[in-house]
Structure 1
């Protein structure tokens, strides 16, 4: 499978390190099938939002949980509202 961009890019908005990271990610994943990419890029926060409404917003709390945030940070997020 060949990876091609669909739109023109304004690379002036990105610094050299960001462009290098994007190039590395493209090189790493350019031959990975979409099912595997989806499994790699969707965590429990995404699945919970999807199961809820198929278009729900991921909450900060669920994103933090999926990222193994500390209990203190999770408590901070719970008490923020």
Structure 2
């Protein structure tokens, strides 16, 4: 049996929340429930005085990696709609 996962490069995430919306629509989740949740880290001040913040998409226990889409040869909805 094959095992799948998501490889997420957090350096490119802009915090647009498209992954959350695509996942919620794909799985038919109600408002307030997430298959993938975008967490915001920061902002924090760097030693040079500039500010930095990051967004981290995190799959939740509701995520099934879009097993139906993947079985049909597609990719997970969050990955398909990700702008990064």
**Fold similarity call, TM over 0.5:** no
Bigger RCO of structures 1 and 2 (CA < 8 A, at least 6 apart): 2
Please identify the structure whose Cα radius of gyration is greater. Answer: 1
The TM-score, its normalising length taken from structure 2, stands at 0.23
Higher strand fraction: Structure 1 or Structure 2? 2
The TM-score, its normalising length taken from structure 1, stands at 0.23
